[in-house]
A and B are shown apart, each in its own frame.
Chain A
């Protein structure tokens, strides 16, 4: 079976600085994979490489077996990969409903359509409302997204990410900057909306990681030093060293 996402010898340099130093990783279909690691390890860069925001210096990235080299973010998205951002990235001036509806358009086959009225499509409206129901923002439906609370905006961001029906969902620190109760809420939300999908996430909060992921990769200085189930990774001496010894003391 081809992995949902496979990285081989992936490297990325900015000038002379090598941020990602040869990452090999295979994430199977339906797996819930967390990438953890200290600050500056290259987690977000790895995300940006996979989603086409940056182009890699060397190595390959395959989504369901297809090489993603040279593909733009919108092309990668059309192949069934969707992502959220560490810094909330929504359409602040549009209503919450419009935000979700826009994220349904391509998936529903509208493409660059300029002859049908979005307001007249029952499928679009119902689809968007169903997503709003899932992320519990129905009451906020007609407000501009920019006026929502932080946690609500994060929920909307996740809603936009999953709306298009992508089967590989990548979440970049979905609980960053949240209170405990908000974190619990978002974790539950992520669990329900990503059922049956491949989930790849970067996260700092170990509670979130252990609550959502079944596989963990540890990224330190641009290299993956361990991959495996949560127990295996926790027991790995290299991880213990990286987390308890060297790296943490640097900070």
Chain B
């Protein structure tokens, strides 16, 4: 252990960076305990469905970040590796004789291998160059395979996709995975395994060189490493874990369709990863959690959820390119200096104003939507537990004024927040 202590940065800010740490056990233990305990807190089926979806998205986003964050490769077609892994698993589930002898928890390995196999083939030519060339090839291959899904019906099942029954597998210690909760623990176990493996991968010579090639491919070549092979191996590893995510999707939903591998899906995983933050290992985890919550919870509340998600994404790209993880990690220096408390009140004022303004703006958007798209004669709408007539002036005034006041407060208090921020991050003025 002693060499780890001397070899690693002692500052938490740097230890937390995706690049430079040994495996600190605490976060992993907390995550494991949380995964075990969560179903006891959120017991209803829909909550478990959301958590399953979340866990699958986390694995996929982490796999995607092996490319984007660790390797500097922007892929516009990564859903195909998850999708093909999932389709392959669906076929295995439907291959009754074989599947009857295979315990379901081992199925994701096959998904991973199929994802990896496809990534090996595509990566052999797509990883020659990074940047635009790679992005364009990934887009092209993504479109190609998505188009194949309606052509090669035997494998992709055409428009209705492929479905199967996971319970025909060999019972695993008596568990047949009839219930959602059993599937939850299967997915949770794979989430832990995959996340740990992907984390460890980033600590290996290959993982380190992936960062080096991302930062400066030419320099890496003059250190004895072929940038192309480094990219290729990252791509293959990423394809493996994407395939695992696809397999878990197959297990969870028991159906795969073209939607699982089309470019929309590829776009979503890019969005999830970027929202969470590509610069830190745990970024995609945050992104997947937030995205899934927004997607499932918000979509129950409003038809316009995708619109709000788009705004969040654009705001992230423009104002917080480090994503949610970057936003969190920005606060580490102030926290280490014990001055994070100084930020609480200014934050409350500015963000509170922002929140009020956002809710007001959301109300305006919803009212416009209702006014334009509700059936004729339907003047009544319910917003924030209040029912009112969207064709009268008063609600518009209230929403408009709320928006103005909210953003007004936000804007008026912003300079104070900036000042508090600078103060909290200023080096202590004590003589060394």
Contact = CB atoms under 8 A, between A and B. Distances in A.
B347 interface: no
Contact of A119 (B203, B212, B237): B203
Contact of B9 (A77, A92, A95, A105): A95
Contacts of A37: none
A114 B207 contact: yes
B226 A125 contact: no
A89 B218 contact: yes
A90 B216 contact: yes
For the complex, would chain A's binding face be called helix, strand, loop or mixed by DSSP majority? Answer: loop
A78 B212 contact: no
B76 to A, nearest CB: 23
A44 to B, nearest CB: 14
Contacts of A111: 205
B8 A119 contact: yes
A210 interface: no
B204 A116 contact: yes
B209 to A, nearest CB: 6
B225 A74 contact: yes
B14 interface: yes
Given A91-B219, A112-B230, A164-B223, A120 B204 contact: no
Interface string B177-219: 0000000000000000000000011011111110110011011
B236 to A, nearest CB: 10
Interface string A78-109: 10001101000111111100100111011100
Contacts of A90: 216, 219
A37 B305 CA distance: 66
A118 B8 CA distance: 11
Given A116-B204, A120-B3, A125-B7, A94 B212 contact: yes
Interface in A119-134: 119-120, 122, 125
Contact of A98 (B208, B218, B233): B208
Interface in A167-199: none
Nearest to B205: A110
A114 B204 contact: yes
A77 B205 contact: no
Contacts of A72: 221, 226
Contacts of B10: 142
Interface in B1-46: 3-4, 6-11, 14, 19-22
A171 to B, nearest CB: 12
B224 interface: yes
Given A72-B226, A102-B209, A120 B221 contact: no
Given A93-B215, A110-B205, A120-B3, A105 B14 contact: no
A117 B229 contact: no
B276 to A, nearest CB: 18
Given A94-B19, A119-B203, A120-B4, A77 B221 contact: yes
B212 A114 contact: no
B221 A74 contact: yes
A106 B215 contact: no
A42 interface: no
Contacts of A200: none
A51 interface: yes
Contacts of B225: 74, 105-106
B209 A73 contact: no
Contact of B223 (A106, A113, A116): A106
A48 B379 CA distance: 74
Interface string A205-241: 0000000000000000000000000000000000000
A113 B206 contact: yes
A115 interface: yes
A77 B220 CA distance: 10
Contacts of B219: 85, 89-91, 160
A103 B208 CA distance: 11
A181 to B, nearest CB: 25
B222 interface: yes
Given A101-B208, A125-B7, A112 B223 contact: no
B222 A77 contact: yes
Contacts of B205: 105, 110-114, 116, 118
Nearest to A89: B219
A77 B224 CA distance: 5
A160 to B, nearest CB: 7
Given A91-B212, A160-B223, A98 B204 contact: no
7 contacts: A53-B218, A72-B221, A98-B20, A102-B208, A111-B205, A116-B205, A118-B208
Interface of A: 51, 53, 72-74, 77-78, 82-83, 85, 89-95, 98, 101-103, 105-107, 110-120, 122, 125, 142, 160, 164
Interface of B: 3-4, 6-11, 14, 19-22, 200-201, 203-209, 211-212, 215-216, 218-227, 229-230, 233, 237
